[in-house]
Structure 1
Amino acid sequence: MKILKRLLKIVFALIGVLVITGIITLWVDSKRTNYLKVNKNDPTSNNSYLITNVNIIPMNQDTVLVNKMVYIKEGIIEKIADNIEVSEIQIIDAKNKYLTPGLIDMHVHVWDKYELGLYLSNGVTAVRNLWGMPMHLRIKEDVIKGGIISPTFFTTGPKLTGREFIGDDNLNLTNPGEAKEKVIAYKNRGYDFIKTYYGLEKEIFDAVIEQAKISEIDIVAHPSQKVPFSYHLNPQIKSIEHAEEIVQQPLQFDLDTIKLQPIIDSIAESKHTSYCPTIVVFNNIYQMMIDDSILDSESLGYMNPLIKRVDSKNQFDRWFNAKQEDPTAVSRIKNQHDFHITIVQKLHEAGVSIVCGTDAGIGVTIPGFSMHKELKFYKEAGLSNYEVLKTATVNASKTHSFMNSMGTIEAGKIANLLLVDENPLLVLSSLENPTNVFVNGRKLDRKTLESYNEKAKNRKNLMASALRYLENLIFEK
C-alpha cells in the first residue's frame, strides 16, 4: 500500500510538472506575439483619417474613381468625395496611389497568431478559418474586442464527418440527434459556420442541414462522397470547397469537359452557392513532386513548425513515394491541375460566384503569400483583372450576410483597405506588396508589415502549437 501511495505521488508530481511546463510554454509563445497587441495609448493606433489624392477602385463597378478623398471615421468609411472638409484629423496624402478593398481569403487553416501578421503583410484583411478549434474562438474574441491587430476573423467549428473514422482531426457524428446537438453547441459557443466534410452520410447530413437552418448558421461544404454531389447545392450551404472534389467525385477522375458541363450548369442554377476552387493547394502537390528540396526552401520558414514537421513532411513523403512507384504520377497530377483551371473557366462562364480561397496552413501552402498565386491561376483561367479581384473582395463579401460590410469601397463599409503603387486592374501583382494596409481603419505601413514577416519566419513554437492541438483533441472529441 505504501508503495502504491508513493507511485501515485510520483505520478501526480509528474502531471503537475507537465501542466506547469505547458502553461509556461503557452505563456512564452503568447508573449512572443505581443507585437500584434493593440496599444491604445499609441497615437499610431488611431483609426480615423482623411486620405487625399487617391485613386479608388471601388469594386462595386469596373472603374477607377480618380483623385478622390476618403474620410475614415473610427474604422468605418464615412464619406468619399472630391473634397471633404474635416477638422482636427490626420491627413494621409496618397500621392495618386490606388486604394482597393482588402483581400479576403475564404479558406485558411490558422495555427497561431504569427500567421495573422503574414496575412496582413500580403494584403489579406479578412480570413475564413475552416478547421475550427477552441484556440480560434479565443483569437476571434481578441479580434472583436480590438485587442490584437489581425484580419477580420471568421471560423467554422470542427469538421463534421459521419461514422467512418477519417482522422483524429475530424469530429465523427454517430446519429442525427448528435449532429443537431453539435450544430446548436457550435452556434452557442461562437463559431460562425458549420463545416461539413468528407464521409458525412445522408441521414446525418440531413440533420446537420435541418438544424443549421433552425439555428440560422451557414454551412461550408467540403463535398462528402457519401451523398451525390448535387446534394451540396442545398440553400443552407453557402460555398462548396475545392475544384479537385469535382474531379474526384462526380467525374471519378475522368477529365472530360463534356461530362463537366452538366455539373457546372447545376452549380450555376443553384444561384445561392459560391464555389471556392483552392487551386494553389493542389498545384503544390505538383510542386512537391518536381522539387525534392521544397521542404528546405526559404518560404517554408513561414509555415507553423508543427505543421512543417508533421503535415508538410507527410505530404512530401506521400507524393515523393507516389512518383517513385509510378513515374506517370507527375504528369497525371499536372494534367489534373490544368483541368482545375478549366473548371474555374467554366464556372466563370456559367456565372457562378467564385470566391478566392487558398487552403493555406497545410502542406506547403504558405499563409498570406499563397493568395497571390491563387489569384494568378484565376487570371490564367481567363478572368480579367477586375473579375479576379472580385473573387477576393465583393464576391467573398456576399457569401455570408455578416460579411456584407466589407469587400467594396463605399460609405458605411468597414475600412479594410489596401494602398498600392499601381492600378491592379492593369497590374495584378501590385497587390503583393501594398504600401499601406488598413484593417478596421488602423493604418499599417510597409515597414510594420515586413516586421510581421520577420517575426513569423522560422518561429520556435512547435510545442505551443502541439499543446493547442492537444487541447482540441481532448475537448472537441
Structure 2
Amino acid sequence: MKIVKRILKIVFALIGLLMLIGIITLWIDSTRTNYLDIHKNESVSNNTYLIKNVNIIPMNQDTVLVGKMVFIKEGIIEKIADTIKVKEIEILDGEDKYLTPGLIDMHVHVWDRYELGLYLSNGVTAVRNLWGMPMHLRMKEDVIEDNMYSPAFFTTSPKLTGPEFIGDDNLNLSNPSEAKDKVVSYKEKGYDFIKTYYGLDKEIFDAVIAQSKKSEIDIVAHPSQKVPFSYHLNSQIKSIEHAEEIVQQPLQFDLDANKLQPIIDSISQSKHTRYCPTLTVFNNIYQMMMDDSILDSESLQYMNPLIKRTDSEMQFERWFNAKQQDPSTIDRIKKQHDFHLTIVKKLHEAGVSIICGTDAGIGVTLPGFSIHKELAFYKEAGLSNYEVLKTATVNASQTHAIMNQLGTIEEGKIANLLLVDENPLEDLSSLKNPTYVFVKGRKLNKKTLDSFREKAKNRKNLIASALRYLENLVIEK
C-alpha cells in the first residue's frame, strides 16, 4: 500500500510539474506578443483626430470623393465634409492619398496572436475565423475590451460534422438532440456563428438550422455531402464556403460550364446567400506541386510553426506523392483552378454577392498576405477593381448584422480604414503596403506595421500552439 501511495505521489508531482511548465510556456509566449498591447492612455488619446486633404473611396458607391476632411471621434467616423472646424485635436495630413475601408477576410484560421499583427500589416482590419476554439474566445474578448491591436475579430463555433466524419479537429454529432444542445452551448459561450461541415445528414442538419434560428445565431456552411447542395441555400445560412465544393459535390468533378449554370441560377435565386470562393487555398495546391522547395521559402517563415510542422508538411507530401504517381495531376489541378475562376465570373454575372475569403492559416496559405492574391484572382475572373474591392469591404460587412458597422466610409461607421498612396480603383496592388492602418480609429504607421511582420517571422511558439490546441481537444471534444 505504501508503494502505491508513493507511486501516486510521484505521478501527481509529475502532472503538477508538467502543468507548471505548460503555464510558464504559455505565459512566455503571451509576453512575446505584448507589442500588440494597447495601453490604457492610448485608448483615450489615440482615436480622435481630423484627417485633411484626403481622397475617399467610400465603397457605398463607385466614386472617389476628392479633397475631403474626415473627423474621427473616439474611433467612429463623426463627419465627412469639404471643410470641418474642430478645436484642439490632432490633425493628420492625408497628403492627397486615398482613404479606403479596411479589408475583411471572411475565411481564416487563426493560430496565435502574431497572426493578428500580420493581418493588420496587410491592411486586413477584420477577420472571420472559421474554426472556433477556446483560445479564440479569449482573443475576441481582448479585442472587444481594447486590450490589443487587432482586426475586428469574429469566430464560428467548432466545426459540426456527422458521426462518420472522424478527426480530432471536428465535433461529431450523432443525433438531432445533441446538435441542438451544441448550438445552444456555443451561443452561450460567445461564439458568433455556427460552422457546419462535412457529414451532416438531413435530420441532424435540420436540427442545427432550427436551433440556430431559435437561438438567433447565423450559420456559415462548408457544404455537407450528405444533403443536396441546394440544401445550403437556407436563409439561416449566411454564406457558403469554397468554389471547389461546387466542383466536388453537384458537378462531381465534371468541369462543364453548361452543367454549372443551373447551380449558379439556384444560388442567385436565393437572394440572401453569399459565396466565399477561397480560390487561393486551392491554387496553393498547384503552387506546392510546382515548387519542391516551397516549405523552405521565406514566405513560409510567417506560418505558425505547429501548422508548418503538421498541416503544411502533410499537404506538401500528399501532393508531391500525387504528382510522382501521376504527373497529369498537375494539369488537372490547374484546370480546376481555372474553372474556379469561371465559377466566380458566373456567380458575379448572376448577381450573387461574393465575399472575399482566403482559408489563410492552413497549408501554405499565409495570414494577411494571401488576401491580395485572392483579390487578384477575382480581377482575373473579370470583376472590375471596384467590384473586387467590394468583396473585401461592403459585401463582407453586409453578411452578418454584427459586422454592419464595417466595410464603408460613412458617418457613424467604425473607423477601420487604410491610407494608401495610389487609387486602388486603378491599381489594386496599392492595398499591399498601406501608409497607415486605422483600427477603431487608432493609427498604425508603416514602421509599426513592418515591425508586426518582423515579430511574426520565424516565431518560436510551437509548444505553446500545441498546448492551446490540446486545450481545445480537452474542452470541446
Q: Percent identity at matched positions? A: 81
State the shift of 1:43 in Å: 8.6
**C-alpha separation between the residues in 2 aligned to 1:384 and 1:328?**
33
Q: Letter of the aligned partner of 2:69 in structure 1?
A: M
State the shift of 1:44 in Å: 9.4
Q: Letter of the aligned partner of 1:287 in structure 2?
A: Q
CA contact (8 A) 2:222 2:240 kept: yes
Which ranges in structure 1 are unaligned for 5 or more consecutive residues? none
CA contact (8 A) 2:43 2:146 kept: no
CA contact (8 A) 1:48 1:74 kept: yes
Q: Which 10-residue stretch deviates more, 199-208 or 160-169?
A: 160-169
What SS does the aligned partner of 1:54 have?
strand
1:438 alignment partner in structure 2: 438
The residue correspondences of 1:89-104 to structure 2 (distance < 5 A) are 89-104=89-104
Q: Letter of the aligned partner of 2:87 in structure 1?
A: S
CA contact (8 A) 2:49 2:71 kept: yes
The residue correspondences of 1:269-348 to structure 2 (distance < 5 A) are 269-348=269-348
**C-alpha separation between the residues in 2 aligned to 1:42 and 1:401?**
29
2:384 alignment partner in structure 1: 384
What SS does the aligned partner of 1:453 have?
helix
Change (3 A) 1:193 1:65: same
* 1:355 matches 2:355: yes
**C-alpha separation between the residues in 2 aligned to 1:430 and 1:78?**
26
1:87 alignment partner in structure 2: 87
* 1:165 matches 2:175: no
2:73 alignment partner in structure 1: 73
CA contact (8 A) 1:233 1:273 kept: yes
TM superposition score normalised by structure 1: 0.99
**C-alpha separation between the residues in 2 aligned to 1:338 and 1:159?**
29
What SS does the aligned partner of 1:41 have?
helix
Change (3 A) 1:4 1:30: same
2:126 alignment partner in structure 1: 126
**C-alpha separation between the residues in 1 aligned to 2:16 and 2:167?**
30
CA distances 1:358-412 after superposition (whole Å, capped 9, x unpaired)? 0000000000000000000000000000000000000000000111101000000
State the shift of 1:40 in Å: 2.2
The residue correspondences of 1:126-165 to structure 2 (distance < 5 A) are 126-165=126-165
2:46 alignment partner in structure 1: 46
CA distances 1:63-110 after superposition (whole Å, capped 9, x unpaired)? 000000000000000000000001011100001000000000000000
CA distances 1:295-323 after superposition (whole Å, capped 9, x unpaired)? 00000000000000000000000000001
**C-alpha separation between the residues in 1 aligned to 2:98 and 2:40?**
28
CA distances 1:297-351 after superposition (whole Å, capped 9, x unpaired)? 0000000000000000000000000011111100000000000000000000000
Structure 1 residue ranges, 4+ long, deviating more than 3 angstroms after superposition: 42-45
**C-alpha separation between the residues in 2 aligned to 1:48 and 1:125?**
18
**C-alpha separation between the residues in 2 aligned to 1:152 and 1:263?**
33
**C-alpha separation between the residues in 1 aligned to 2:45 and 2:119?**
19
State the shift of 1:45 in Å: 5.6
Q: Letter of the aligned partner of 2:170 in structure 1?
A: N
State the shift of 1:10 in Å: 1.3
State the shift of 1:450 in Å: 0.2
1:400 alignment partner in structure 2: 400
State the shift of 1:41 in Å: 2.4
Q: Letter of the aligned partner of 1:159 in structure 2?
A: K
Q: Which 10-residue stretch deviates more, 216-225 or 10-19?
A: 10-19
State the shift of 1:49 in Å: 1.2
2:180 alignment partner in structure 1: 180
**C-alpha separation between the residues in 2 aligned to 1:148 and 1:45?**
15
**C-alpha separation between the residues in 2 aligned to 1:307 and 1:166?**
19
1:233 alignment partner in structure 2: 233
State the shift of 1:132 in Å: 0.1
CA contact (8 A) 2:220 2:237 kept: yes
State the shift of 1:53 in Å: 0.2
**C-alpha separation between the residues in 2 aligned to 1:203 and 1:298?**
47
TM superposition score normalised by structure 2: 0.99
What SS does the aligned partner of 1:155 have?
strand
Change (3 A) 1:208 1:17: same
* 1:418 matches 2:418: yes
What SS does the aligned partner of 1:77 have?
strand
1:427 alignment partner in structure 2: 427
CA contact (8 A) 1:108 1:361 kept: yes
Q: CA RMSD in A?
A: 0.8
State the shift of 1:42 in Å: 4.4
CA distances 1:8-54 after superposition (whole Å, capped 9, x unpaired)? 11111110110000000000000000000001224996101100000
